[in-house]
Amino acid sequence: MSNDAITIEFPQEDVRALFRAMDAGMKYMNMHVNHALNSAGRFLVQSIVASTRIAPKKRKVKEVQNAAFKPSRRNLKTFAVDGWLGKPRTRQTKVVYSRDAATAQKRYGNIRNSGLARAAWKRAAREANLGGGGRNLSSAGGEMLKIANRLASGSRTKEYIKLTSFVGYGDKALRGGERSLETALERASNAMMKSIEKRLVDKQGFGWLAA
């Protein structure tokens, strides 16, 4: 993994499991190979997105009374801002100075791009023509959408799908760390298998058939 991009390396068994799910879709549901790849890609993106937290929209801002942090101007007050700050993002408490609590919250406490890490994955999915993965992307908001466009890429052929996120703190937004990405393919293949089985039950009245 580089400093700027998240690369996912999947265990070989998970890759085989996803291919088995694709084969099952082609065999039992008469899916074309592209349809099977689209379906697998959508399940994978949904799994990755589910692994990515949406940050709270506000950081905690609290006024502090400490002589060590006395503001240089008499009309300013001292506040402590707690959250993910700086470049690269780290969890820290930062001392800032502002006229009042409302101004301090607006300038330092509000998180303008809450959900950017998740929006980047969805944008990458859209670039790879995985329609379901990019669902509701427009709800991210115009400014954040422009940022997501710059921080994500996706591509595909008949043989593979490649999704990349360049969000610098994307790894910190993951539930359970990068391990949650490593298990994304396993979860995607399981979900695809269950979807195929449900469609077989609904359409033909029987459960899963062994390949």
How many CA atoms lie within 13 Å of 116's alpha carbon, on the beta-carbon side? Answer: 23
Query: Parallel, antiparallel, or unpaired: how do β-strands 161-165 and 152-156 relate?
Result: antiparallel
- 46-59 pLDDT, tens digit per residue, is 887 777 766 667 88
- 112-165 pLDDT, tens digit per residue, is 766 777 788 888 878 877 654 444 544 555 666 777 788 888 887 766 777 788
For 143, the token pair is 């400014």
- 208: nearest Cα among 46, 44, 29: 29
Q: Could you tell me the pLDDT band of residue 110, with boundaries at 50, 70 and 90?
A: confident
Give the residue with greater pLDDT, 116 vs 11. 116
What is the reported pLDDT for 2? 42
Kindly tell me if the per-residue pLDDT of 180 is higher than 50: yes
The domain limits of the chain are: 12-55+114-204, 60-109
Residue 114, Cβ neighbours under 10 Å: how many?
18
CA atoms of 68 and 145, how far apart (whole Å):
41
What is the reported pLDDT for 135? 47
